[in-house]
Structure 1
Amino acid sequence: MDPKPISILVTALFIFILGTYVFAKNSKKIINISFLGLAYSCGLWALALFTISIETRYEVLKFAGHMAFATGALLTCNFLLFAYVFPDKRDEFPPLRTLLIICAPGALMALLSFTPFIMKDIAYEGEKVRPVYGAGIYILMLYHVACAFIGFFLLARKFLKTKVRFERVQLKYTFWGTLLSAIGIVTFALLLPIAGVSQYSGPLSAVFIVIASASLSYAIVRHRLMDLGVVFRNVLIYIGTVAALGAVMGLVTLFTPVLRLQLEAVAFLSVLAASLLVYPVRNGIETLVDRFFFHGRYNYQAALTEFSHSMTKILDLEDLQNRIVHEVASILQVKSATILLHETGEKKYTVRAAIPIELADAHHEIGADSLIIRQMMQDHTLLVKEEMKRSLPVSRFQPIESEFDQIHAEVIIPLFYREDLLGLLTLGEKISSDIYSVEDINLLVTLGNQAAVALENALLHHTVIMLKNHNDNILKYMSSGVVAIDKNRMINTCNDKAREILRLPQDGVIHGKIDLLPSPLREMLSDTLAGKNRYSNQEVQILSPKGSICYLSASTSLIKEEKGVVTGALLVVNDLTEIRILEGEMWRADKLASLGTLAAGMAHEIKNPLVSIKTFAQLLPTRFEDTEFREKFSSITVDEVERINSLVEKLLEFARPTAPLFETADIIDLIEEVLLLLSNETSKVGVTVVRNFDVDSAPIVCDKSQFKQALLNLCLNALQAIEASRNNSHKELRVSVSLRKSRYSGGTSRDQVSEMFYGLDIPATIDDAQTVVIKVRDSGQGISRKNLGRIFDPFFTTKEKGLGLGLAVVHGIIKEHSGSITVDSKENVGTEFTISLPVTQIFAKERA
């Protein structure tokens, strides 16, 4: 079957589909409506040519000839109407008078085409058919030329007058597409047939029809157009590639007789050569075309490669911002470019770099809730001002346009990293005043993605540097010493305070071994790194270079990465030496104050019996002969002297307590012994004793005798308070024992205690990190708030016959055992004493 009719039919169908598609895109626009008329008249003309190419019947051929001339007249008429309304008259229809001026001559020419005035008949010349023209053929040709001239004149004038860059590109496509097609159609459909050459008129006319229709529809429908220079460049590349490959295949065919190859072998070699050479040849042709015809136009791949290569080298945020702006402005040849980044902690994007520099100095910014930002967050794509102007209603576009103008932008490229909008890259007008073509947009999308990745890396680097400086400043000026080691027991962090506290050298500590640290701290860090123990406020002692003792508080912890893998250990130390010195001074001052209180108490207590003795001594000379008086005097004197002696003994017991003899004991057993001693007293008073022991046994290291004395004093005080209370219905003495983990460890461990006290056997059940808590609670009358702070002072008592030394002795014994005692009391409710005793932690201070 002859391929010529098929090509014409395919062309007709293509044009019908294209016209319908453009009309369906926006059926209300006059441009789309006029293109529909242009496309349908062109399609009908192609169908007439198709009928002529396949028919042999006289009547059908004659009608098809008339139809070809009529649709040709309508085609020219519709082109003139299209040129009149394109591209600025989008919504309004032309006035009726204008429509009549444009359409009436076309309709008249179409009607005349069905009369002998245009075509008289058809004539057969062998197998070919040609029209027999009438007298009006020249008028029809003049009409075609006039309409074409007026149409192209209108398009050219609009191109020169319009200020809208996108419309200029649309007019370029329309002008050159229709001009080349019109020349081709007139040549092959009119001039050559008149000259008697008509064998190629149908297929070649169809090709030019396709070119015209495609260029017009592309200019109407596409919201983003390619640069015509890019189109021409691509056409040259494809033509050159096809020509070069054709030459290669021709060479293979040329040498066929010499090589004596079969037809199948020739075909195989030709296809093989073409497939192997297509990419090298295309790249070579592209290089030649760019060198000789498009010198100065950027190479897409080269621009991407160079930009990506330059971005990977920069980690400094400020340098990167300036490089991005300069590189993009240089590649796209724009008048202005800015980069805006999100301000941390603020809802806005501010200019960080700009070309020209005045844009950066103007402090332009855009809010995070602006219309542009919301549009970008929704679509995740760049915004082109010209495109939004055409696609959005005026009421919606005006506020967006003001935001574009605020930052002097024509195109805004979002810099997304994952889902975060890091910033914006804005570009102004091109130096050439051209629009941003499809090639430009594609390039900008890729450049924006690469710039976003580079910015994220630079921002992360900037954040790391800021955090490092922040941490360095904290470490430098903090009052605690900080030392960190890695998994290899090498020091990787040591601040100035740690060097000062631990007397470390200024150089050689970082990357030095853990052996540089004093022994106790070295062992603590090693234990923590090994996972054995973590210390909290552990009090240790080290020797200074001068031989004096330094008291330190040390805490350790593990350093872990994000997934929980241990990477090292951390030591935080505080110098307690000055605190201990101050505590010693306060202790001495307290002792002096206690001494004054003690002296006053002694004077008061001794003075009372001395008064009695003095009185009897003064009366003795006058009443010596009185036997009864002498006996009474002797009895009273002995009692008062005994009273003074008892007072002195208790005073000595308080002032010079016996050194404790430490041994292992079960605190519960000691409590039971004390309660057994007091069983008669509790029965006499009618007190119920409640035992609340959380554990079956609580072994500790203590002086049994002294600790029993302390417990006995507390329980006796409780019984006396219950007896003096008015609450006779509820008499209860509650003693409780519990164990808890130590929050503060200030002394020595079980093994160290064993060594200190001549190999004392410490049971394995004793836990270094545990504290025994003993509570003695009564339901007595309570202690008033004003007296609560004085109960441990010597000689302070509220009892008529009390000396005020019982609780003072208890306080001293607990302190000797490195424990603490607190009191909580409410009047008419009761009192609770709480003793906290570290199981093996004894004597934080050195013993004499």
Structure 2
Amino acid sequence: MDYPALLLLLVGTAHLTVGCFVFGRNPKSAVNRSFLVMAVLFAIWAFLGAAVYLPELGTDPVVVGRWAHAVALFLWAGFVSLVLVYPEGDTRTPLLLRVLVWVVSGIIATMAVFTPDLIQEAQVEKSQLRAVYGPLLPAYFGCISLSLCWIIGESLYRRKHSRGKRRVQIEYLLTGLALAGLSPLPSNMVAPLFGIHSLVWVGPCCTLIFTAMVAHAVVHYRLMGIRLVVGRGVAHVLALLIAALVFFGLLWLMNALLAGTGTTKTSIAMLATALLFQPLRNRVQNAVLRYFHRPPYDYQSTVRDASRALTATLDLNAAVDYLLRTVCATLRVERGLLLLHDRAAGGFRFKGVHSGWAAQEEEEPSPGGLTRISPLTIFLEEVQEPVVREELAVRLPGERGRAIERDMKHFGADVAVPLLSGNVLWAILLVGPKISGDVFTTQDIDLLSTLGAEAASAVVNAQLHEDAMQADRLATLGGLAAGIAHEVKNPLVAVRTFAELLPEKHEDVEFREQFSQVVVQEVDRIDRLIGQLLHYARPQPPRLEPVGLNELIQETLQLLSYEAARCSVQVETEFAEPLPRTMADASQLRQVVLNIALNAIQAMPEGGVLRITTRLLQGRTAAPYLLPAEERIEIVFANTGPHIPEAHLARLFEPFFSTRSEGTGLGLSICKRIVTEHHGEIRAATTEEGLTAFIIHLPAVCPAENDPALCLLEEEAGGLVAAGWARG
């Protein structure tokens, strides 16, 4: 038997095996049925090719060649049908058009088989099939070319409009079809046109690339929804078989190369090959195990890194994002999702999701949340440990177990992990199935439990920090209550005065015009004041934008005008002009200015001076946590209030440390966090004149003369990073 015939028989058998396996997993699926048709056509094409090289069968080369070309034409129709319904069975192509593809292919194939219009003569000489083509060849090639264009266009369209798992599956199908469909073209279509017929057997063999791609995607990416778990015992057997095949192949090669060279050389070669078998087997075994089973992750390193990252941030969104990314990357799961305890509603609301696929899933509607009395929530509070969905039938048989399973299935979760702090359920981590289809091992569950404990502490700390910031905002506004009332009362007095005079001077045109202007101005003044208060009091999601610090300070000082007048404090400002902008969240910086300035005014109840200056500093800073900008903006708040001892200056930014009996000790610590997250620094000092000063440095990343749209910024977990700016 010639080696081309043997290869083609093996290829056909492989196609039938994979096709039947895929079809057997879901016979009702249109995708699986289309794939079976493709596999059968591949196998028939390979078997017909093998028949050409088996003269003992007595087959007519003309008949075999015609049938082989007809099957190859049907292959392209099968390609089209598979692509149109892949990957989930849906299609946007009308049924009539899909049927038309098969009808046209059938007409041309019938003419190719029963007439000499495609192959007029054929013969086998020295294991080479030589054919003389007829006038049907252009139509044959044209049909294949149109099918190829349709396949590529439809695949690219579906890839463009897909995300996540769906996109990965389409990419694998597209790659497999491209390799299997385009590889035979040079050997089976182009070469025969130039009289080269010795490579026609290569075409059917190239289709094995498609089957190999499908098998790989089934093992690693659950192609067509097939979940295949290869046990370690099976993997060891496969490794042994592969090593044995390689070993016997080497023996055959040695025998062929050393035949007739003497017994000694042959014996030495055989002995060397035998000695190489054990290392070869070990290497092949390790490679097979790595292929079917992902190498174990470093448990200790993963937990250590997660602990450092989660404890280093007080940003809730950053902590949630890091947790989900770590779980998806380490365990290679389809997605991770977090439900956070909603203290207002009493349940658990959707907080964040991350996809484990290379391309993120399309934005989907929020999956909702869970009530406090849902079966899954109650069970997690009871057991206080991870729950695996596949174990519920054994662990908790009955209706309650099925109810918990329905809750987990709603979120597409295979594991639910409670995030507990002090026996209180703060959040629920829902982990989807592994991309490879593997089960969750004991080590996986232990890792999720440990990460859940670390994340619970981070979530609690972040929420407490948010509460502290909100409390500090409200406390600051409470201290400004008298000033706010005064600022609102003044314009109201003007409006009331004009309103009382209006009946008497209604006919006075000048009075009415003045009245209209005054009322509009004073109402706008109240509206701006209330807008500033709401913007300050309500915590907003960080919004990064170019901020002019001179303008921001001036606007914030308007809220303190009454408080400064009441305490007889003179506010002096000295702003550098022009001053570059900084990329920041304006509301957060406004909170910093308001806290520091209000503290200074309240520290001088008998009167004094608050001097606020800004200037531009050149040169890079040496502080490791600061942005390495070439320019920095310095803001100095200096006041003539009581002297603060040197020992207290370093502790002013510690939480709950205060030099005033009525202070909470949170304001300055929050200011320090905000400034640090903007990659700046803040410190307290005593000036040469003996004034108490708070000095802030912020990176100047956006020149004032530039368009704000040119300022670039990136976000990192736990902070803000200015990426730079471009001059116009």
- On whether the aligned pair clears a TM of 0.5, the verdict is no
TM-score, normalised via structure 1 length: 0.37
TM-score, normalised via structure 2 length: 0.42
Q: Which has the higher contact order (CA 8 A, sep 6+)?
A: 2
Please say which structure displays the higher CA radius of gyration: 1
